[in-house]
A and B are shown apart, each in its own frame.
Chain A
Amino acid sequence: MVMFTLRRFLQLIPVFFGATLLVYFLVFATPGDPIAALSGGKPMAPAVEAALRAQYNLDQPFWIQYGLYLKNLVTMNLGQTFSGQEVAAVIARAYPVTARLAIMALVFEAFFGVLFGVIAGLRKGKLFDSTVLVASLLVIAVPTFVLGFVLQLVVGVQLGWAKPTVSGSAPWNELILPAVVLGLVSLAYVIRLTRASISENMNADYVRTATAKGLSRRRVVVVHILRNSLIPVVTFLGADLGSLMGGAIVTEGIFNVPGIGNLLYKAILKGESATVVAVVGILVIVFVVANLVVDLLYAVLDPRIRYV
């Protein structure tokens, strides 16, 4: 197990360097000058331009620029936004909101996903099963931003059950609606995954054995089927938490949630390349670490996986 963890961890290193290099290269080394974009394409005083280039290390060769970027990323010395705020401080303010939203969405999709998935899987082909399947297909097919707008309009504006947009401090109760929108698509996947896994395991030999030795159906379902069926679901949820922590640009935009996705999107629109690169670098770290945790979780949960 120690070797397995170590090996997975070592594999992360090239991924981390590769992904950050990719982002940095995309933003700072492709045709089209980010500094020229800062002034909206209008000519800039040479002294100002030189100062800006020095500020973003753009006067250095590319590999040194990248090295400085990595150093800044690791030491959380991420520079300033256009309005003079520390990027690290802005991220520190936005991240708890995103984390709160992600956890709420995860709880929502895990609870209802497993519940509906188990019922549907146990009653494959019945009315409830078909209804849930069709509904999950619909949720997958409708883009998140349409779901967001419709729910915002119906629940937030017409019914008035929730505030249509989130206020600055983003309290828990105002985040319920965005969390539901955020969790809906994954909910559909959790349902389908649970259902498929359950109905596959229903025919497994060990279930037949458990029934044959006279266990009640309830015990067979809860102890034998459910426990084995939830392994892929748990790992899916883990991976999903990783991507949820990366911020939901669309959902946070619609509900005006002051999280990391919103921060990134605004930085992109304003052309703040330095902020974009810093935030994306952090998100890559979060995503990669989350995937590592999921891999380890999988190995712990499923003893059939060999730790090689």
Chain B
Amino acid sequence: MSEKLTPENEPRIPVTPRLGKKSTRVIEHFVAPLEETPLAAVDSVSEGGAPLSLWAEAWRNLRKQPLFIISALLILLVIVVAIAPQWFSSVDPTSCPLADSAEGPRAGHPLGFNLQGCDVYARMIHGTRASLMVGIFTTIGVLIIGGTMGALAGYYGGWLDAILARLGDIFFALPLILGAIVMMQLPAFRDNRSIWTVVLVLVIFGWPQIARITRGAVIENRNADYVTASKALGLSRFSALVKHVIPNSLAPIIVVASISLGTFIVAEATLSFLGLGLPPSIMSWGNDISSAQPQVRNNPSVLLWPAVALSIAVLSFIMLGDALRDALDPKARKR
């Protein structure tokens, strides 16, 4: 039995040619539907020119994906708001006259006031920066530490892999939020709470995931022909890792990084909500949600708006990750 069943030699169902009269016969399929590429699509493929790189092809795919366009625009908006909040709100979020305490919306203050009399909309806009900074810097830190650990473990293997994998397992055994809570309540951290301590704590407990993904991706690529070729051409082992293996392993890492950026924003909000995250002096969505919590039954909108902003930001990063996964995974792109 050497003959394999491929679309080329699989028996086709004979189709009766139409002869003048309209045929009303229904053709019954007894085989699973075949994937057939329409001839027009085959013709439109130009065979001249170099094939596009993974990234160029992914970009061509992404530009047509509504999911990507929506999420990219939302992320752009969030970044612009974080950089220049004054463009979006002229109200000072720190001027909180108590006379306005828990007042409803009025002209110039579209979302009303919280219990302290601060403008909810202004605080929502100005809270973007802290939340986004925590997300971005945590992701960068996790990429540096987890990426390095994972790449070294996957590329060199052996005892280094064994040690780094166990180390990752140790940090993995403490769930992100639990570890972060334990660490944030230490006197050394509790007394110096800032964006950077939150980032540090989240990086410490967040890196194993990226390390695992990187390790897997590097292992997949380390024995590829182009790596052997580059070594044959005289590249040192380490240079081959940096120049060839890592760039070719980036796709799954970027997808996971984008999704975890959203998770880190949620983690910061959760920590702040529990009173262990950013100090109350820093405006962030998590802090606003936390301070709105006691009044949630009388004045739910004060809690709702920062939560909506938070969810939109997180959602856009998760959607971006989804879109990137679809575009960067050639297996999924086929159909």
In this complex, what residue of A is CB-closest to B273? A145
B18 within 8 A of partner (CB): no
State the CA gap A11–B166 with chains docked (Å): 8
> What total of A-B pairs shows CB separation below 8 Å?
134
State the CA gap A254–B167 with chains docked (Å): 34
Given contacts A143-B311, A146-B289, contact A27 B186 (CB under 8 A): yes
Q: Which residues of A contact B312 (CB under 8 A)?
A: 141
A142 within 8 A of partner (CB): yes
B224 within 8 A of partner (CB): no
Which 10 pairs show the lowest CB-CB distances between chains A and B? A32-B187, A18-B170, A141-B315, A208-B32, A19-B173, A146-B307, A32-B188, A141-B314, A211-B32, A15-B169
Smallest CB separation, B192 vs chain A (Å):
10
Smallest CB separation, A87 vs chain B (Å):
16
Which interface residue of A15, A27, A33 has the most chain B CB atoms within 10 A? A15
Q: Which residues of A contact B255 (CB under 8 A)?
A: none
B91 within 8 A of partner (CB): no
Given contacts A141-B312, A150-B300, A268-B182, 13 further A-B contacts (CB under 8 A): A11-B169, A14-B169, A15-B166, A15-B169, A31-B188, A32-B187, A143-B273, A145-B269, A146-B289, A203-B35, A246-B178, A268-B185, A283-B178
Contact across chains for A265 and B274 when beta carbons are under 8 A apart: yes
Contact across chains for B188 and A23 when beta carbons are under 8 A apart: no
From 278 to 327 in chain B, residues with beta carbon under 8 angstroms from any chain A beta carbon are 289, 293, 296-297, 300, 303-304, 307, 310-312, 314-315, 318-319, 322
Ordered by A's residue number, 19 sampled pairs between the chains whose C-beta atoms are within 8 Å are A14-B169, A18-B167, A18-B169, A18-B170, A18-B173, A22-B170, A22-B174, A34-B187, A137-B319, A140-B315, A141-B318, A142-B314, A143-B269, A146-B303, A212-B31, A249-B177, A250-B274, A269-B185, A291-B173
In this complex, what residue of A is CB-closest to B35? A203
A237 within 8 A of partner (CB): no
In this complex, what residue of A is CB-closest to B335? A203
Which interface residue of A34, A36, A37, A142 has the most chain B CB atoms within 10 A? A142
Smallest CB separation, A61 vs chain B (Å):
21
Give the size category of A's interface with B. Answer: 35 or more
Contact across chains for B186 and A26 when beta carbons are under 8 A apart: yes
From 117 to 138 in chain A, residues with beta carbon under 8 angstroms from any chain B beta carbon are 137-138
State the CA gap A243–B275 with chains docked (Å): 22
State the CA gap A253–B177 with chains docked (Å): 14
Contact across chains for A19 and B182 when beta carbons are under 8 A apart: no
Given contacts A32-B187, A141-B318, contact A19 B170 (CB under 8 A): yes
Contact across chains for B188 and A30 when beta carbons are under 8 A apart: yes
State the CA gap A81–B173 with chains docked (Å): 25
Smallest CB separation, A124 vs chain B (Å):
10
Q: Which residues of A contact B32 (CB under 8 A)?
A: 207-208, 211-212
State the CA gap A138–B181 with chains docked (Å): 26
State the CA gap A105–B326 with chains docked (Å): 31
A236 within 8 A of partner (CB): no
Given contacts A143-B269, A153-B300, A250-B274, contact A276 B182 (CB under 8 A): yes
Contact across chains for B182 and A23 when beta carbons are under 8 A apart: yes
B266 within 8 A of partner (CB): yes
A144 within 8 A of partner (CB): yes
B263-277 Cβ-contact flags toward A at 8 Å (1 or 0): 000100110011110
State the CA gap A265–B273 with chains docked (Å): 12
A214 within 8 A of partner (CB): yes
In this complex, what residue of B is CB-closest to A268? B185
State the CA gap A23–B276 with chains docked (Å): 17
A287 within 8 A of partner (CB): yes
Which interface residue of B35, B170, B191, B318 has the most chain A CB atoms within 10 A? B170
State the CA gap A288–B183 with chains docked (Å): 20
